[in-house]
Amino acid sequence: MDPLSTLVHTILSQNTTDITSDRAWKALRRKYRTMESLARADRDELAETIRMGGLADIKAGRIIQALNDIRELTGRLSLDFLRDMDEQEVDRWLSQLKGVGPKTRAIVLLFSLDKTAFPVDTHIFRVTKRLGLVSPSADREEAQEKMAELSKPVDYFSYHVNIIEHGRKVCSARRPKCYQCLLYDVCNWSEKKEHRE
């Protein structure tokens, strides 16, 4: 996926499941065939289109604002120019867009620009804290920095994907399956014994 589409898709994925964000993305792409038409969209109409993805009013505003800011800053609707920048330059450039936080920037870097970044979503944040890889008091940005330090850049993608999978299937928020966890013996989570059986 190109970086601009990745940015929009990631905004849609904030605070929701992959299933609902994918549905919202497909609905958005059916209604708005080009990024130009999306940038010119009526905010309320866009919100209705992506309603199934949750927080539709906020996300619609962020998407339209980001697209218009990109056009104002660059003269066009494309983020392909980011390919010629290093990771720090890309991160700095994207950080000027309202509603584009560290996780969104890292996703654009890793998934569409093939650059080094370690995005930390809800699952990674929970799992790494439970395992003791990240301090219990760390915020997401600190967790992202720590995981980037602990991992080799060549492994960022696989670690990101596998930790998310572990968080969904085993180390879930409500009913973790500690009895199935291969990392039980090295896990620092104080409540793990309550979920051992």
* Alpha-carbon span 28 to 23, nearest angstrom: 9
Which of the residues are catalytic? 103
Question: 119 with 151: CB under 8 angstroms?
Answer: no
Read off the DSSP letter of residue 154. G
* Alpha-carbon span 25 to 14, nearest angstrom: 12
Residue 46, φ and ψ in degrees, nearest 5:
-65, -45
Question: 38 with 28: CB under 8 angstroms?
Answer: yes
Length of the chain measured in residues:
197
* Alpha-carbon span 142 to 185, nearest angstrom: 25
What is the residue whose two structure tokens read 């964000």? 21
* Alpha-carbon span 64 to 17, nearest angstrom: 22
Neighbours of 89 (CB within 10 A): 11
